[in-house]
Amino acid sequence: MVNLDTLEKVEVFRNLDDRRLSALSECCTEMVVQRGEGLFKAGEEAGHLWAVVEGRIKLVAEPDSTLQEHGVSETQIFGWPSLLRSPIYRFSASCDARSAKLIRMDSRCLQALFEKDPELGYNVMSGLLRVLGERFHQLQEEVVKRRGQDMMNQW
Amino acid sequence: MAGRDGVVKADVFDGLEEEQLASLREGFQELTYRKGDRIFQEGDEAHHLWIVKEGQVDMGFELPGRTASEVYALLSVPAGKAFGWSSFVPPHKYRLSSYCSSPICTVLRLEREFLLGWFERDPALGYRVMVNLASVVAERFNRLQGSATAVPYARVRITVHLATCGIAAGAREVVNALVEEMAEEDRPHIKMQTSGCIGRCSTEPNVTVQIEGAEPVIYQKMNGEKMRRVFREHVLKGVAQSEWVLS
């Protein structure tokens, strides 16, 4: 169980009423990790959605490339494949602060809840799509900038 | 895609009942574009979700004074796949331009407001479509990220010589194999085209592989299996298959 005040700040749970937040909290546990501690590795089965309450988490796909690394901080979620059609983590996640407080959400528990209350499922997945879309756009900006620079260099 | 019965079939509608799909008929328009036609432009208000019914659509960015070109393509969208998901993400503006990159593109245009009304009436359906749509975006995110730091590819043009003699000798099988391989790899820098006879009817089906910066290679007496090997070894790895080379 997780405090509802904490849960309603999570970017995909905003605007949900207490009844629904309370149902969601049944799928959640809070945990604290220390700097460098790993949460999961790329390629592992994605069994949990995660949210950052305090601190910062680093997501890494491949080393030595800035485009392959992302930071996730307060109220943001990560581990989104856990709710999608191919539930495999694409990044490795580790704590990137002295310590980080997290919410870990069991994806099967969430999916069962969404099947039972599809309106909740629709709202949360719409929020997830928004988050994914925003992060896609950020990545796209970076890629476009790089491709533009490559082209300028070719001229 | 819309089948003969008008039912829309696409990745974003996976798992829906035939009846639910049939109810979509009222909400889409079918439009046809030719190669190089722009479907929408970066910055346009995003009121629609789109599905490729036939052909291929490239998504890319534009530079002032330049026309559509594969140089700027970031992603390719084959038949049965959706694009224009920015219509569901604030500020509801397209962030890339889309172009028809095959000789003909048939696309289905779905009104966002129609879809939202549909989801409100049936949240279970809305939930399923949102899972599919988020899965599509996640998959493209991974693909874009994977390509972002890769070494830029040389442009490749593969020409299947599809005159009567070539068709009689089995060129259609070659085209089908090539289309399948290209769809699997999904690399916008590789383009396929068809052309007429090169005057060597006895060696048909002929295929020309032209990799930017290298001399074109003409292959002879091709079939589906040979085409797949040429694609994997020559086009993707740069190793010409000398045993089948005509010139």
Percent of chain A residues topping a pLDDT of 90: 70
Most B CBs within 10 A among A49, A122, A134, A146, hence the mutation to make, goes to A122
Q: Where are the domains of chain B?
A: 11-148, 156-244
Spatial separation of the C-alpha atoms in residues B217 and B247, rounded to whole Å: 6
Report yes or no: A121 at the B interface, CB cutoff 8 Å: yes
User: Tell me: the pLDDT tens digits for A92-148?
Assistant: 999 999 999 999 999 999 999 999 999 999 999 999 999 999 988 888 887 777 766
pLDDT at A147: 65
Report yes or no: A32 at the B interface, CB cutoff 8 Å: no
User: Tell me: the pLDDT tens digits for B162-183?
Assistant: 777 777 778 888 988 888 888 7
Q: Which of B72, B74, B134 sits opposite A132 (nearest CB)?
A: B134
Which chain A residue's Cα is nearest to B148? A143
Contacts of A118 in chain B (CB under 8 A): 123-124, 126-127
Taking CB atoms and an 8 Å limit, are A118 and B138 in contact across chains?
no
pLDDT at B70: 47
Size of interface A-B (CB pairs under 8 A): 101
Judge whether residue A72 has pLDDT over 70: yes
- The answer to whether A79 and A28 have CB atoms below 8 angstroms apart is no
pLDDT at B106: 94
Name the more confident of B182 and A7.
Answer: A7
With respect to CATH, is domain B11-148 assigned 1.10.1040.50? no
Which whole number is the average pLDDT over A8-35? 95
Taking CB atoms and an 8 Å limit, are A144 and B74 in contact across chains?
yes
pTM for the whole thing? 0.73
pLDDT at A79: 95
ipTM: 0.90
Name the more confident of B61 and A31.
Answer: A31
pLDDT at A105: 97
pLDDT at B27: 82
Q: Where are the domains of chain A?
A: 4-154
CATH class of B156-244: alpha beta
CA of B241 vs chain A CAs: smallest distance (Å): 31
Q: How far is CA B168 from the centre of its chain?
A: 27
pLDDT at B71: 44
What residues 50-109 of chain A have any CB closer than 8 A to a CB of chain B? Answer: 61-62, 65, 67-68, 80-81, 83-86, 90
Report yes or no: B87 at the A interface, CB cutoff 8 Å: no
Low-confidence ranges of chain B (pLDDT < 70): 1-8, 63-72, 147-154, 186, 213, 247
Widest CA span in chain B: 63
Could you tell me the two tokens for A92?
């490795």
For chain B, the three-class secondary structure string (H helix, E strand, C coil) is: CECCCCCECCHHHCCCCHHHHHHHHHHEEEEEEECCCEEECCCCECCEEEEEEECCEEEECCCCCCCCCHHHEEEEECCCCEECHHHHCCCCECCCEEEECCCEEEEEEEEHHHHHHHHHHCHHHHHHHHHHHHHHHHHHHHHHHHHHCCCCCCCEEEEEECCHHHHHCCHHHHHHHHHHHHHHHCCCCEEEEEECCCCCHHHCCCEEEEECCCCCEEECCCCHHHHHHHHHHHHCCCCCCHHHECC
Judge whether residue A63 has pLDDT over 70: no
pLDDT at B4: 43
pLDDT at A132: 93
Spatial separation of the C-alpha atoms in residues B240 and B231, rounded to whole Å: 10
Contacts of A150 in chain B (CB under 8 A): 152
CATH architecture of A4-154: Sandwich (2.60)
